[in-house]
Amino acid sequence: MKTAVEVSNVSMRFNLSSQKVDNLKEYFIKFIKRELKYTEFWALRNVNLSIEKGDRLGILGLNGAGKSTLLKIIAGVLKPTEGSIVVKGKIAPLLELGAGFEPEYTGAENIYLYGAVLGYPKDFIAEKYNEIIEFSELGKFINVPLKNYSSGMKSRLGFAIATIVEPDVLILDEVLAVGDAKFKKKCEAKIQSMFDKGVTVLFVSHSLPQVQKICNKAILLEKGEIIAVGEIADVSRIYEEKTS
């Protein structure tokens, strides 16, 4: 089997400020005087993972286990403190939909902006522009600044842009609560069509039945380390023992 994603010795450290700084001036004074104190927090520690092409991998773990951090590193949103990631092929990250949007810009302008954030060439976006608007069902609202959109409208636009590629790797963080029931069905059908084409999937959800329904393999994260990896049934059993 061909490898789709290779995670090698990945660790992620965050520096959490242990004191309150009220303004920028105070921050710089403390910075120059070297009075800023940080506590180190390792969200991930020495994570090694090889995901084969066509695998649907469920990422299980309690809150704070490092699930979303791992997805963001694989998606290229975060750079790991240590280690490396290799992703073969195009990636569609359905993480925080529209996290790269600019509220002052119109929906139309944000299509190009968000497309660039996701690494799509401008000509490709221009070619798919009408298709994105059609899928998002935003109609004339596409020329309205994003600050006037509801959260559902933003998610719909984000989803339409992120899924316009034919991805090799699909990253899903939690189930997609995008818009109303009718639109949600449309999103699920779009994701299912990607599944049918044999896309590699990385899926995070708090719902074990949902992970079991979608995935054939799983890993279990605890305090930033992988404590189990294998077939979905085996890892689910360990997860249930840990959470019961």
Q: What is the pLDDT of residues 122-179, one digit of tens each?
A: 999 999 999 999 999 999 999 999 999 988 888 889 889 888 888 899 988 775 656 6
Determine if residue 242 is left, alpha or beta; phi over 0 gives left, psi from -120 to 50 gives alpha, anything else beta: alpha
Which H or E element spans position 202? strand 200-204
Q: Given this model, what pLDDT does residue 83 score?
A: 96
Closest by CA to 203, choosing from 98, 61, 84, 64, is 61
The pLDDT confidence band at residue 30, using thresholds 50, 70 and 90, is low
Q: Given this model, what pLDDT does residue 60 score?
A: 94
Instruction: Report yes or no: 157 and 137 within 8 Å, Cβ to Cβ.
Output: no
Higher-scoring residue by pLDDT: 179, 4: 4
CATH number, span 3-90+166-243: 3.40.50.300
Give helix then strand counts, H and E, for the chain: 8, 9
- Token pair, residue 89, equals 């092929």
> Which pLDDT tens digit goes with each residue over 8-19?
999 999 876 655
Q: What is the DSSP string of 86-151?
A: EE-S-EEEESSTTTT--TTSBHHHHHHHHHHHTT--HHHHHHHHHHHHHHHT-GGGGGSBGGGS-H
The pLDDT confidence band at residue 25, using thresholds 50, 70 and 90, is low
Which H or E element spans position 60? strand 56-60
Q: Given this model, what pLDDT does residue 4 score?
A: 93
Instruction: Report yes or no: 65 and 222 within 8 Å, Cβ to Cβ.
Output: yes
Average pLDDT in the 179-206 region?
85
Q: Given this model, what pLDDT does residue 28 score?
A: 63
User: Is the per-residue pLDDT at 36 higher than 70?
Assistant: no
Question: Does residue 73 sit in helix, strand or coil?
Answer: helix
Average pLDDT, the chain: 86
